[in-house]
Structure formats: structure tokens, C-alpha cells
Structure 1
Amino acid sequence: VAALAGQVSLPIMEVLLWAAAGAIAGDSVSFALGRVFQGRLERLWPLNRFPGFIAKGEVFFHLHGGKSVIIGRFVGPIRPIIPLIAGAFLMPWRRFLVFNFSSAVAWAPTYVLPGYLVGSALTSDFEPPAHFYPVIGISAGILLVIYLLLIRFQLGLGHSSQLYHWLASLMARYHATHRFWRLYTSQRPAQAGEFPLPSLSMALGAGALFMMLGQLATETQIFQPFNTLTLEWLAQLRNPLMDPVMILVTLLGDPPILLAAAVLAAMALGVRGFYAATLHILGAALLATLLVWAFKYLTAIPRPDIVQGPPSSGAFPSGHTTGITVFASLAASFIARESRHRWRWRYYLLFSIPIVLVALSRLYLGVHWFTDVVGGLLLGLSIAGLTRASYSRYDNIPLTTDTTLLAAGVAWMLYIIWYITEHWATAALLYGPGAD
């Protein structure tokens, strides 16, 4: 249906709006039915034809709590059952609606945009560039494998999952693969030599999505109507009250501030003898800088010109979004690593806030297209996942906080204050709305 909508050129925002509305309505009805038939769900048709299905949903709900409503939106086999279980367990309506609305906003573009773009491409005079289909095919293959393993078959990546044990036994059959597996396993006793499968999967999955998006965004005009519509919509929201806030947020994502954080963190860890962590932090910063520069130079996508002084560099990908994603993702992973397992998701959620804010500021100020920001996010996640996977072979001693790290944090905050004070007037002038 999404492909047909793209073929007949239905407005993309209307398609996404109605898709999200349908998702919200469906789960709301399911939640209400769970409230009405609590205690009798397993006896109702057609659920009584699938014994154990309700029990499986209850286990999932107990394990993840309110987050299961969001997770269930994207996980095929349990998608229809989670709202029922939430209603039967008397989750408050207000809390359910928050999870329902927020997950639907993410679900609609994830499930609708691919088909819509394919439909749009079929009706256009599209001439693929060199190596277009091999890149798309390999990237799609990687994503399909990750989808089947994680979503469709619900196989976890932790050291206690079936998939992990199967891969470990497969690697152990050959000397070279066994050596590689052992080389990158954590040597902490509590982890029992865990291989960084989640980080590696994130690096491969995000990298594959970035390659696909890069091909489509730089070599075709498929995304141009959506980019233009997003830019025009955000331009209408600009006002004197929000402009200073967004300028401040975007300055916090400037490369000098993020590179200063990397250098100070590396120095603090290096002084304490964590040389591997030092090299990996500096390596991630250097890799992000070089890749962003290379992609901007090679693609040479022009930026929007709705501000007084748009940057002169290419638009794709967003360097600010890439940098803040690498910074926040690595910071979250290092902190979460030293915390209790059940608390880790909170750190990842907390550190996702600066990523969203910086990305939104680039769109609000009109210096990037929507695809630039998404590309920067995917590139940053891929670099962060690759860095974390590489560091796992040296992750033997907990990284605790001490006065050296605190001093580096204070020095970074002082540098931020100086940098913003020094560059505020210029930024306010450059990011001001251009003349009509």
C-alpha cells in the first residue's frame, strides 16, 4: 500500500499521519479489549487456538514493563498481543497512551517510507549510478539478516542467548575464527568472556543503512520532495524566542567542543594508565572527522540557503549529528558498562537527548536537509559500535571516576563557556534568517 501511495504521489506527510493514526487506533482498541476481558484472554477466540501465546506476551511484559509497548510495536510475533496484556494488567491509560503515541511516531516512517520511496522511484526516470545495485543489495542483505535474527526470530545477542552460543560453537570449529572470537571477548570475570556481538551488529546495521541512504540521497532525487517539505515546515516554526535556544544547542555540537571533550577524556584516562581507552576515544574522534570530511567532499551536496551564512562545506552527512552521536553513544556505553544491567537502558535514553536536540537544531536553523541529519546519525552509530566492539578486547578493568576525570569535566565545561561566549555573536548573525 505504501508503494502504491508513492506511485500515485500522495503527499508523504498525509501518508505518515494516517499510518501513525491507524497504529495508535489499533493498539488503543487492543488495550481497551484487554481491560474488558482481563483474566479471560486465553479462552477467547481466536486466542484460544494458540495456546501459550498469552503466556509468552505476559513474560515479555513482565520483563520489559512499559517499554514492551514500544518494543512490541516493531516485533512481529508479539505486536498484536502486547497492548492486550498491558490492558489486562491494568496499566494506566495515560501511561499507555504516552508509549502508544511515541512508538507510532517512530513506527510510521520506519515501515511506510521504504515502500513509498520504492513506489516513487518506479514512476520516475531513474538512472542508477555505478555500483548502485551491488551496494544496495549487500546493505539490504545485512539488514535482512539482522532483522530476521533480532526481530522475526527474537534471538538475543547477549552471552546467554541461543544465537550467541550457536555462533560461539561455530567459531570454535576453526582455528582462525576461534582466535578472532577469543581475541575480542571481554576478560572481566563477571562477563565470562563475552564477545561484543551487540556492538558489532549495531556497527554493521547502521553502516548498511548509511550506505543505502547515501546512495539514494546523493545519486537520486527520491528524497528531495520530503527534504524540501521538512525544510519549509520547520522554517515556518522559526521565532525570536526559539532561535537563541537552537543556536546554543547547535554550538554545543560544534566540532571544537566535541574534539575538546575527546582530548580531555583521553588525557584523563591516559594519566591513569587506560591507554587502550585513550587510543579508542581519539581514534573514534579522528575517524568521525575524516569520514565526514570525505563524504562531504565526495558528494558535494549543496546546503539549504535560508540562513544568512550557510556553511561552505557539503551537506551530506551532518557533521554535528555524526559528532554528537559518536560522543553520546560512547559516553553512554562506557557509563552503562560500569552500572547494573537493569539500569543500562536509562543511560542510553538519557544520552540520546543531546543527539536529538543537536539534530533538531540543524534542521530548525535550516543548514541541513533531513537526509543529512539521518545520515549523520547512522554514521555516528556505526563508528560508535565499531569503536566499542574493538575496545572489548582491552575491557578488562572497570573505568571508575576519580579526581582526574572530574577535573577534565570541569575543564571542558570552562572551555564550553569560553567557546560559546567567543562565537555567539558570529553564530547569531550567520544562523539568522536570510533575506526574502
Structure 2
Amino acid sequence: MGAWLDSITSWLSANPSWLGAAIFLIAFVECLAIAGIIVPGTVALFAVAALAGSGILELSEALLLGFLGGLLGDFVSYFLGRRFHQNIRRLPGLRHHPEWIGGAEAYFQRYGIASLLVGRFIGPLRPMLPMVAGMFDMPLVRFAGVSLIAAAGWSVAYILPGWATGAAIRLPLPENFWPQAAVVGVALAILLGVAVQSSTRQKRYATRLIAATCFILLGAVFLGWPYLADFDQGLMTLVQASRSEAAENYAVMITGLGDFRTQFCAAALLAILLLLTRQYRHAIFAVGTTLGAAVVNQSMKYTFARARPEVLAEPLTTYSMPSGHASASFALFMTLAVLAGRSQPVRLRLTWLLLGGIPALAIAMSRVYLGVHWPTDVLAGMMLAFFTCSASLAFVQNKQSLPALPIRVWWLILPAMVALLGGFALHSFGHGLIRYQY
């Protein structure tokens, strides 16, 4: 496998004009039924994305090509399922490995539409679920809507790390960038390890332990940011290197989703819908997370009074740490992810949290892209949201576990949230207005 991958990357280095086609093709194969299980597409995708980040392709181009390739793989798999139905089991590969389709079939029957979102990030299930959706005659419009969202998140999660690695090797970064980045990475790994271990072992104090860990890491960011100057400067350099005129309006649209007005309306809508459907404990959790993040954020801004980056021609005079966009967006999407994962297996709950983190991270990084926040501002906002989310959940689960929301409630929440956030996004994109005041 190593020799095969080396030969591909060597050839692409000598023929960079084919790199875009390679990203598209590998993403397509990675998401294509049966082929996605056999071909080690994840490793190859990281390698070619790193090559793209070395200065051959812009980040926006690499993400778009990965998105389109993955989307095409989804649709080809879907139509294979619609065309052959149960006869698909006779295809080479599936005859000898019936467990490939059996696992995806059981997963789809259990979780329905949600399986297409969550299963996108579970290797063996990713290429098989679209085909299973076609086998069960899922309506094309419904499949297309879910696949568009899943493919977009998948492209960011699988292309961005490789591209950033390639860009980091190419660009002149501060001397201590990598050691400081390693410290940040270890801290996040500790948080992930605490969350996974305490959850998988079903400890009663798991949520409180996660809240305590987030609180300690939040304090560490506030006390340690002066010692992470090279990390801030280096990551800011990486993000600014990916700027392009074509991506500017999209960054404005994404950052608009984190504005105070947008997040306030989204949080208020969620709370109102939960109250109207008499999901009182869920409403307390949602309000505790979103309102708590907003109140603590403003208090910390004035307590630490950190100046913003001087990237803009006219830098903002408001304080920088923690990022209000980061704390508000992570609080909202983590709330939705926690509610979606209630009464589900641990691995699925963690996957929901990963899915919720993708749009929140996009909003948070748009602030660094636009030059109005340092990376540690975003990190502090994220830790703040994690803390308020886990603390609020621990509070409402003090005596009894929070149950799953009924499906009928989700059919109210999801369309309402998509319509609200989509409306604000289109407004920001259409007018090209960047709201930096928060």
C-alpha cells in the first residue's frame, strides 16, 4: 500500500494539473458502494489533500472537489440500490461478504435518515448506506437533501486536515509553533479521552467529569494564551494563506450564522418549540447551555480585555477572548447534538457530537479567516460552550437521565432550525455584510 501511494503522489507532484481530478476521483471511490470498503481511500485522500495544500490548489477548490466526488459516489450507490434492490446481494464481493451490506441494512432500518448523516463518518458504513437507502426506495428528494449536508461535512472533515498539513509544511511558521500546537493537541486529546472513557464505561458521574475537565481546560486557555503566541501567529498564517476572493462571500455567510441576532433567534426558537411540545427538561437544558454560554462569554471578555488581531485595515476596538461566535455556535449545535443522541449507543452519541461540531467549527474558524479573532479566542469559546453544555446536562440529569425527544418533536425542530439558519445565511451572503460587533 505504501509503495502504491508513493507512486501516485510522486506522479501527481510531477503532473500537478491532474491533482484536482485525483481528489475528485478518490472521493468518489471512497463513497462508492463496495469499492469504498476495498480501496484505502481515506489515506489516499489525506495524501493528495496534503499535496494540494503545498500550494497547488486553493482550500476552497479542494473542498469543492471532495464534496462533488463524494456526492457523485453517493448518488451512484443510491441508484445501484434502486435498480437492483435485493439482487444487489449477488454482486461480486457481497456474495462472499454479506456482512458488509447486512450491517448497513440493520443500521439504516434502526436509524433511518439519521444513519445517512452519522454513518458518513463510520468507515465500513459510509459507502454502503446510500445503496441500502436505494434498496429500501427512500424518496430521491429526501435522499438528495440529506446527502448534500452529509457530503459537505464529510468533505471538510476529510480534506481540511490534509490540506492544512501540506500548507503548514510549505509556509514559514514561527519557531515554536509545532511544540505549542502539540500542547493544544494533547489537551484536546485528554478531553476526548475523558469523554469517551467515562461514557463507554457508563459512569454515573461521566457528565460531571467532562464538565470539570472542560472547566480546567478553559482556565488553562485563559491563563496560558500569552504563552501560545507562536501557535496563534502560526495558525493565523495558515488560515490567511487560504484566503481568496472567491471564498470571501462564503466566509461572510458562514460567520453570519454566528452573529448574536442569529444565535439568539435560533436558541429562542429551539426553547419555544421544546416548551410548546412540553419537553420541559430538554428546554431547561437548551436554555442553560445557550444562555449560560452567552452570559459567561460577556463576563470573561471584560475580565480579560484581550485586544483583537490587527489583520483588518481598521481593527475592531471590542475585546477578543473568548470568541462570542465560537461559544454561541458550539453551544447551539452541541445542544442539538446531545438531544439527537439521547437513548442511543455511546458510539452514535459521540458521532452526533462530531457532526454538531462541524458547522460550529466552520463558524468559529471563519472568525480567524476574517482576521477578527485569534485561534486561542476560538479555543476558549469552544471550551466555554463544552463546559456550559456538560454542566447544564449534568444539572437536568441530577436525578433522572434525559430521555430521547419524540420523533414528532424533531419534525418540528429540524425544518424550523434549517429555515431560520438558512434565511440568515442567505441574507448575509446576499448583502455581503460582516457583523463583527459580537
TM norm structure 2 = 0.56
**Inter-partner Cα distance in structure 1 for 2:71 and 2:289:** 43
Deviation readout 1:296-334 (Å, 9 max, x if unpaired): 61x74236457xxx641344653144246437756x699
What is the Cα deviation at residue 383 of structure 1? 2.4
Structure 2: unaligned runs, 5 residues or longer: 1-47, 272-283, 404-432
What is the Cα deviation at residue 115 of structure 1? 0.9
SS of alignment partner, residue 116 of structure 2: helix
Mapped contact 1:321–1:380 kept (Cα < 8 A)? no
What is the Cα deviation at residue 201 of structure 1? 11
**Inter-partner Cα distance in structure 2 for 1:198 and 1:48:** 46
**Inter-partner Cα distance in structure 2 for 1:33 and 1:276:** 43
* One-letter amino acid matched to 2:207: P
Structure 1: unaligned runs, 5 residues or longer: 151-155, 158-162, 169-180, 185-194, 238-245, 263-274, 400-429
Mapped contact 2:104–2:129 kept (Cα < 8 A)? yes
Which of 50, 54, 57 is residue 3 of structure 1 equivalent to? 50
Mapped contact 2:208–2:394 kept (Cα < 8 A)? no
Provide the identity percentage.
Answer: 25
**Inter-partner Cα distance in structure 1 for 2:285 and 2:135:** 50
| 2:412 matched residue in structure 1 | none
Evaluate the alpha carbon distance shift between residue 377 and residue 21 of structure 1 in structure 2; reply closer, same or farther with a 3 A threshold.
farther
Evaluate the alpha carbon distance shift between residue 295 and residue 23 of structure 1 in structure 2; reply closer, same or farther with a 3 A threshold.
farther
Mapped contact 1:288–1:322 kept (Cα < 8 A)? yes
1:378 matched to 2:382: yes
| 1:187 matched residue in structure 2 | none
* One-letter amino acid matched to 2:122: V
Mapped contact 1:20–1:105 kept (Cα < 8 A)? yes
Greater Rg over alpha carbons, structure: 1
**Inter-partner Cα distance in structure 1 for 2:288 and 2:72:** 50
Deviation readout 1:318-374 (Å, 9 max, x if unpaired): 3144246437756x699x59x9969xx9xx99xx8xx97x959x97xx784696996
What is the Cα deviation at residue 76 of structure 1? 1.0
| 2:43 matched residue in structure 1 | none
Deviation readout 1:412-433 (Å, 9 max, x if unpaired): xxxxxxxxxxxxxxxxxx9799
Evaluate the alpha carbon distance shift between residue 75 and residue 123 of structure 1 in structure 2; reply closer, same or farther with a 3 A threshold.
same
Which of 31, 34, 55 is residue 102 of structure 2 equivalent to? 55
What does residue range 6-405 of structure 1 map to in structure 2 within 5 Å? 6-126=53-173, 127-129=175-177, 131-139=179-187, 141-142=189-190, 157=199, 163=200, 167=201, 181-182=203-204, 184=205, 195-196=206-207, 216-220=231-235, 221-226=237-242, 229=245, 232-233=248-249, 250=259, 252=261, 287-292=296-301, 297=306, 300-302=308-310, 304-305=312-313, 311-315=316-320, 317-323=322-328, 325-326=330-331, 368=372, 375=379, 378-388=382-392, 390-391=394-395, 394-395=398-399
**Inter-partner Cα distance in structure 1 for 2:76 and 2:144:** 12
Mapped contact 1:284–1:384 kept (Cα < 8 A)? yes
**Inter-partner Cα distance in structure 1 for 2:153 and 2:402:** 35
**Inter-partner Cα distance in structure 1 for 2:287 and 2:83:** 57
* One-letter amino acid matched to 1:15: A
**Inter-partner Cα distance in structure 2 for 1:28 and 1:281:** 37
Mapped contact 2:78–2:134 kept (Cα < 8 A)? yes
* One-letter amino acid matched to 2:317: S
**Inter-partner Cα distance in structure 2 for 1:311 and 1:42:** 60
Deviation readout 1:170-193 (Å, 9 max, x if unpaired): xxxxxxxxxxx55x3xxxxxxxxx
Mapped contact 1:301–1:314 kept (Cα < 8 A)? no
Mapped contact 1:280–1:391 kept (Cα < 8 A)? no
Deviation readout 1:356-409 (Å, 9 max, x if unpaired): 7x959x97xx7846969965763453223332354267345999xxxxxxxxxx
**Inter-partner Cα distance in structure 2 for 1:5 and 1:277:** 40
**Inter-partner Cα distance in structure 2 for 1:201 and 1:42:** 49
**Inter-partner Cα distance in structure 2 for 1:111 and 1:202:** 27
Mapped contact 2:49–2:163 kept (Cα < 8 A)? yes
Deviation readout 1:235-254 (Å, 9 max, x if unpaired): 998xxxxxxxx79x945369
Evaluate the alpha carbon distance shift between residue 21 and residue 311 of structure 1 in structure 2; reply closer, same or farther with a 3 A threshold.
same
* One-letter amino acid matched to 1:132: Q
**Inter-partner Cα distance in structure 1 for 2:395 and 2:119:** 32
What is the Cα deviation at residue 66 of structure 1? 1.4
Evaluate the alpha carbon distance shift between residue 234 and residue 392 of structure 1 in structure 2; reply closer, same or farther with a 3 A threshold.
closer
**Inter-partner Cα distance in structure 2 for 1:281 and 1:325:** 9
Superposition CA RMSD, Å:
5.4
**Inter-partner Cα distance in structure 2 for 1:144 and 1:76:** 20
What is the Cα deviation at residue 54 of structure 1? 1.6
* One-letter amino acid matched to 2:165: V
Evaluate the alpha carbon distance shift between residue 215 and residue 385 of structure 1 in structure 2; reply closer, same or farther with a 3 A threshold.
farther
**Inter-partner Cα distance in structure 2 for 1:202 and 1:91:** 42
